[in-house]
Amino acid sequence: MEERLHTLVSLVQDEPGVLTRVAGLFRRRGFNIESLSVGHCEQPGLSRMTIVVEGDDASVDQVTKQLDKLINVVNVTDITRTEMVARELALIKVTARSDDRSEIMQIVDIFRAKIVDVEVDSLIIEVTGGEDKIDSLLRLLLPFGVTEMARTGRTALTRGSESSIGSHV
> Phi and psi at residue 2, in whole multiples of 5°?
-80, 130
Q: What is the mean pLDDT of residues 85-93?
A: 97
CATH of the domain at 65: 3.30.70.260
Residues 6+ apart with CB under 8 A from 126: 89, 90, 91, 113, 114, 115, 116
Pair (101, 33) in one structural domain: no
pLDDT tens-place string over residues 98-127 = 999 999 999 999 999 999 999 999 999 999
169 domain residue, yes or no: no
Parent domain of 22: 4-82
pTM for the structure as a whole: 0.85
Structural domain total, the chain: 2
Rounded to 5°, the CA angle 76-169-78 comes to 20
What b/e sequence results for 1-23 when a residue is b if at least 16 CB atoms lie within 10 Å of its CB, and e otherwise?
A: eeeeebbbbbbbebeeebeeebe
47 domain residue, yes or no: yes
166 domain residue, yes or no: no
